[in-house]
Amino acid sequence: MQHVDPSPWVALRRSDWATLASATPLTLTEADLERLRGINEAISLEEVADVYLPLSRLLNLYVAATQDLHRATDTFLGSLAAKVPFVIGIAGSVAVGKSTTSRILQALLSRWPDHPEVALVTTDGFLHPNAELERRGLMDRKGFPESYDTAALVRFVGQVKSGVPEVRAPSYSHLRYDVSPDEHVVVYQPDILIVEGLNVLQTGTGQDDRVFVSDFFDFSVYVDADEADIKRWYVQRFRRLRDTAFQDPRSYFSRYAALDDHQADETASQIWERINGRNLVDNVAPTRSRADLILRKGPEHAVERVWLRKL
């Protein structure tokens, strides 16, 4: 008999995954969803019900089980039960929709009957400031692993996970395309912390004994799609930004505001090939197999399949 290696994944079509919501009520309205949508994303309430509602149910079960595990450990050690936040990592390419996924999950999880406090932090604030990136010759590698202050990111998540009452994360201005030195996101002992970013699932080479941010995750999600589709979404989003955010003279990208459609598409394609596409192939996509769950999107930006890790 031929030996077949067991797959670590359960692969589900969207329709099958949707049944796992198990009568969980949808607590978001169309008005809520409008505030949560990203640029160039037409996510519907139907997709929220089919994809994100079952995921919120699964995560709610994981949170409860993890809290029981922590209580068991405290009982064994004879210590007082401490509040340990459940940490979720969400990874994926630029323009794939991971920020919208994060915001929807935050909204759904915070509306469960026990009303947990759910904090959301993106890793953009942990990028080195532009002046430092320029000093290091890394402006064209912004978003690559070496462009982040990973020590500060690990320290932040570690402090939240340890129950520090008040932890500050640096804030990022997409208008200025730089870290905001005088602004911070403050996290106050949440029940759940969502950490969203390009490279949050990355680790070392196997010979590296450093601590990585993913070491603190209780659950992780990778938002996936074909590279050709992600590039197309990136170009479409660039056009939308050209007509909106780039029109602001304070914008770092205001120089692109006067581009016509052809010029905008050419510019966006060049940026993708030089920076975001390379980062996806070299650094982001290789971390996909480390996720606990993969949301696979089709050409229309909608999730079509779900892979859940079972081993």
Query: How confident is the model over 253-274, as pLDDT tens digits?
Result: 999 999 999 999 999 999 999 9
Considering the domain boundaries, does residue 192 fall inside one?
yes
Query: From CA 80, how far away is CA 58, in angstroms rounded?
Result: 28
Residue 281 lies in a domain: yes
Instruction: Report the alpha-carbon distance of residue 198 to residue 129 in Å, rounded.
Output: 17
Residues 6+ apart with CB under 8 A from 178: 129, 130, 172, 252
> What's 24's domain CATH number?
3.40.50.300
CB neighbour list of residue 11: distance below 8 Å, 6 or more residues apart: 305, 306, 307
pLDDT at residue 120 above 60? yes
pLDDT tens string 162-221: 999 999 999 999 999 999 988 999 999 999 999 999 999 998 655 566 889 999 999 999
Work out the number of other CB atoms within 10 angstroms of the CB of residue 205: 5
Number of separate domains in the chain: 1
User: Minimum mean pLDDT among 6-10, 35-39, 203-207, 231-235: which range?
Assistant: 203-207
Q: What mean pLDDT value characterizes the chain?
A: 93
Q: Quick check: pTM over 0.85?
A: yes
* pLDDT for the residue numbered 80: 76
- pLDDT range class, residue 3, cuts 50, 70, 90: low
Report the pLDDT value the prediction gives residue 113, as an integer from 0 to 100: 83
Q: For residue 90, what pLDDT is reported?
A: 98
Residues 306 and 57: beta-carbon distance below 8 Å = no
- The pair of structure tokens assigned to 50 is 């089919």
Residue 119, in any domain of the structure: yes
Domain with 67 in it: 9-309
pLDDT 10s digits, 125-168: 999 999 999 999 999 999 999 999 999 999 999 999 999 999 99
Whether 2 is in a domain gets the answer: no
pLDDT per residue over 282-308, tens digit each? 999 999 999 999 999 999 999 999 999
CA 308 from centre of chain: 17
Task: Classify residue 1: in a domain, yes or no.
Answer: no
Within a domain: 4: no
Q: Is residue 47 part of a domain?
A: yes
In the predicted model, is pLDDT for residue 1 greater than 60?
no
Whether 121 maps to a domain, the answer reads: yes
Of 146, 136, 189, 89, the C-alpha closest to 282 is 146
pLDDT digits (tens, 9 = 90+) for 11-56: 999 999 999 998 889 999 999 999 998 777 789 999 999 999 999 9
CB 10 within 8 A of CB 311: no
Nearest to 43 by CA among 96, 93, 89: 96
